[in-house]
Amino acid sequence: MNAITQKHSKIVKDIALNLGFDFCGISKAQRLEKEEKHLDNWLSNGYHGSMGWMENHFDKRVDPTKLVPGAKSVVSLLFNYFPEENYDDSLIKISKYAYGSDYHYVIKDKMKTFMQLISENIGDVDGRVFVDSAPVLDRAWAAKSGLGWIGKNSLLITKQKGSYYFIAELILDLELVPDQPTSDHCGTCTACIDACPTDAIIADRVVDSTKCISYLTIELRDNIPPSFKGNMEGWAFGCDICQDVCPWNRFASQHQTPDFEIKNELKEMHANEWQELTEEVFKDIFKKSAVKRAGYLKLKENINFCKQ
């Protein structure tokens, strides 16, 4: 790589650091051939359940140049959301990533600033920003750029701080120096597989979404199948079990983002208040939360199902 490319790569990584991203890695924008086969098999087996949108734009999912014409580099970014304290009511649990404001908006603002700073420091660069909002295999790109490895629970794990991260990407028409992938450090550990109460992790790095509590409480629009009664362990929105038991998350450190702090109204919610949750209270507590994705009626159903 020439000196200019190296200089541009350093600028990009410096911007990431200054904007508060925990890790930044770079990959060459090219077709993900290995991941393409994995995705095709996963879809063919119906592990995506009712998430029909996962079948759409297949080529764009595995080839960033189809998504952003002229793309040369994929910049992967990790943003920590590990909280200081858990919300763990005796009745209801929600995933840590949904404690505060919706991450889509918080990180997307940073990504827009990122693009502006690239233009100011490098020049006219074309590209797009992505925060879990388009057909991008974010975990695959993060692993390819050396930020971590895909664990047995199919999540990206970093050796330094575990797996409680949001992943974002910049796909740019700018040539940058690619980073090298790291090795897998799960070894013989099966903690995530053993702890999953619904047996959703059916093989190494293969999750059957139709059995996953996160899918059942968020993506599934139908009623949760009766066969899962007694296995939800109180989770009403998402699930952190496979991350909570992962040994690498003993290195997780508290995030420094006020927007992700657990809301006082949520912190003060108790069992009887969850059972009596009204739509008005739902809209007030979760007006800027990722929990809105499930919606009031779905959340109420999840709460009632958790009690069974």
pLDDT tens string 128-165:
999 987 889 999 999 999 999 999 999 999 999 999 99
pLDDT of 60 reads: 92
Residues 37 and 161 in one domain: yes
Q: How many residues does the chain have?
A: 308
Query: Do 115 and 223 sit in the same domain of this protein?
Result: no
Task: Report the percentage of the chain scoring pLDDT > 90.
Answer: 85
Give yes or no: residues 24 and 110 share one domain.
yes
Same domain, 151 and 265: no
Range of the domain at 266: 191-306
Output the pTM of the full model: 0.95
- Say whether both 267 and 210 belong to one domain: yes
Asked about 132 being catalytic, the answer comes back as yes
Asked if pLDDT for residue 30 goes beyond 80, the answer is yes
pLDDT of residue 203: 94
Task: Note whether residue 133 is domain-resident.
Answer: yes
How many structural domains is the chain composed of?
A: 2
**Same-domain status, 150 and 7:** yes
Among 116, 141, 172, the domain-final residue is 172
In a domain, 164, yes or no: yes
Specify the pLDDT at position 269.
82
* 68-120 pLDDT, tens digit each: 999 999 999 999 999 988 876 566 899 999 999 999 989 999 999 999 999 99
Whole-number pLDDT of residue 306: 82
Q: What is the pLDDT of residue 145?
A: 97
- Are residue 130 and residue 256 in the same domain, yes or no? no
Q: Is residue 280 part of a domain?
A: yes
Pairing mode of beta strands 73-80, 165-172: antiparallel
Residues 6 or more apart in contact with residue 304 via CB below 8 angstroms: none
Q: Tell me: do 165 and 206 sit in the same domain.
A: no
Domain assignment of residue 184, yes or no: no
Do 95 and 237 form a contact (C-beta atoms < 8 A)?
yes
End position of a domain, from candidates 172, 200, 234: 172
Residue 290 pLDDT greater than 90, yes or no? yes
pLDDT band, very low/low/confident/very high, at 275 (cuts 50, 70, 90): confident
pLDDT band at 293 (very low <50, low <70, confident <90, very high): very high
Query: Same structural domain for residues 130 and 260?
Result: no
CA–CA dist 250, 253 (Å, integer): 9
Whether the Cβ atoms of residue 65 and residue 29 lie closer than 8 Å to each other: yes
Let me know if residue 90 belongs to a domain: no
Across the range 1-15, mean pLDDT stands at 94
As a whole number, the mean pLDDT across the chain is 94
Q: Note whether 149 and 287 are same-domain residues.
A: no
Contacts of 259 (CB under 8 A, 6+ apart): 100, 101, 106
Question: Which of 172, 203, 230 finishes a domain?
Answer: 172
Q: What is the pLDDT of residue 307?
A: 72
In a domain, 178, yes or no: no
User: Active site residue: 132, 173, 204, 244, which one?
Assistant: 132
Asked whether residue 185 is domain-assigned, the answer is no
- Indicate whether 212 belongs to any domain: yes
Q: Is residue 217 domain-shared with residue 272, that is, in the same domain?
A: yes
Mean pLDDT of 224-235: 94
pLDDT > 70: what percent of the chain? 98
Note the pLDDT of residue 92: 85
pLDDT reported for residue 91: 67
Residue 211 and residue 291 in one domain: yes
